Amino acid sequence: MTINRRRAPSSKISSEKKLSGHRREQNYASLIGGKVIGGTQKGDVKDKNGDLHSVKSGKKWQVFLYGYNRICNSSYLSILQPCLDAFPEDSNQYFEDRIKCIAFKEAYVEAHGRNATKSLSNNDVAKHLGANTYVESKNQLATTTSSTCNTLNNKANLRNFLDEALFNNDEVKYLAIKDSTYKKDGLFKVFAKEDVLDILTAKLFPSVSIAGRVPVDYNVAGQKTLLCYKKTARQTKNIVEIEIRNDSSVHYRQVRFNMYSKDALSLLLEAPQCIASSPLGEHIVVYGQAIKTFIEKKMDIK
């Protein structure tokens, strides 16, 4: 039995995104007189003073996709290790049990209909399947994401976590965002690391995802760790989604950190400390603490 629940983009789409990202980095590097840094590190562009800039654009950013060893050896991202440990080292057993679980649910749909399947409890499914690593892993992940949220409720822990996720601690100094989602003016908007961390740490709080609604899957709440903010007095909104990627034996026990551009820009641009400079050239606006460093270091902007 083959089950395809692809959520990751196809290889063609991924390739197009990489090419688009490379063109964006080349564009930004040419505007600040810098050079593109190859590889998978956090810094995309190095300016003439040797400082690194992370360059982002698009609706959703994949901030990182890290494997088990990278998470375990991290200074602050290691709080996610228990989420990975919720899944067995043996991916074969996990995928075999996943097939058993979904095959049972699909047969139940065929025999009883989708509405009846929706009312089938997880306890009923677990009782029918018996020992099943797919079911057990999902239940364990719900426990570990709750623990992760408890850790990130501490603002010092949250700041350190965001620092390593976005800037790899001391590696990157600036975040440059090409605005195609908020004001949609296509300008590169540049923020200093300190402002980004101050604003996001103050505004964000952790939560967990609700249970999915796929009738033929085993749906459990808490499969993602979320970072949210208050969009209005009554509405909260996810800005970060952290999930465990188990797409295949190759992409197994990996952590993916996604961030929404429009929400990030709204928080950064609406913060009082992020007063804008006059546009530097035709394509770049610098904000907050980045203004002083750009002027002091005499950045030549085209």
**pLDDT of residue 2 exceeding 60:** no
Q: What is the pLDDT of residue 282?
A: 86
C-alpha–C-alpha distance, residues 8 and 98, integer Å: 18
β-pairing, 174-178 vs 52-56, is parallel
- Is 73 within 8 Å of 57 (Cβ atoms)? no
| pLDDT tens-place string over residues 246-269 | 999 999 999 999 999 999 999 999
50 phi-psi bin (left φ>0, alpha ψ -120 to 50, beta other): left
Please give the backbone phi and psi of residue 205, each rounded to the nearest 5 degrees, phi first: -145, 150
Q: What is the pLDDT of residue 296?
A: 73
C-alpha–C-alpha distance, residues 155 and 199, integer Å: 12
| pLDDT tens-place string over residues 193-244 | 999 999 999 999 999 999 999 999 999 999 999 999 999 989 999 999 999 9
C-alpha–C-alpha distance, residues 134 and 137, integer Å: 5
Distance of CA 245 to the CA centre of its chain: 12
Residue among 177, 178, 158 at smallest CA distance from 242: 158
Alpha helices in the chain (DSSP H): 11-32, 68-72, 81-85, 91-112, 114-118, 122-129, 133-152, 155-167, 193-203, 261-270, 289-296
- Is 197 within 8 Å of 159 (Cβ atoms)? yes
What is the identity of the amino acid at 60? K
| pLDDT tens-place string over residues 173-195 | 999 999 999 999 999 999 999 99
| pLDDT tens-place string over residues 44-55 | 999 999 999 999
The chain-wide mean pLDDT, for the chain, equals 91
pTM comes to 0.91
**pLDDT of residue 302 exceeding 90:** no
| pLDDT tens-place string over residues 267-298 | 999 999 898 887 777 899 999 999 988 777 66
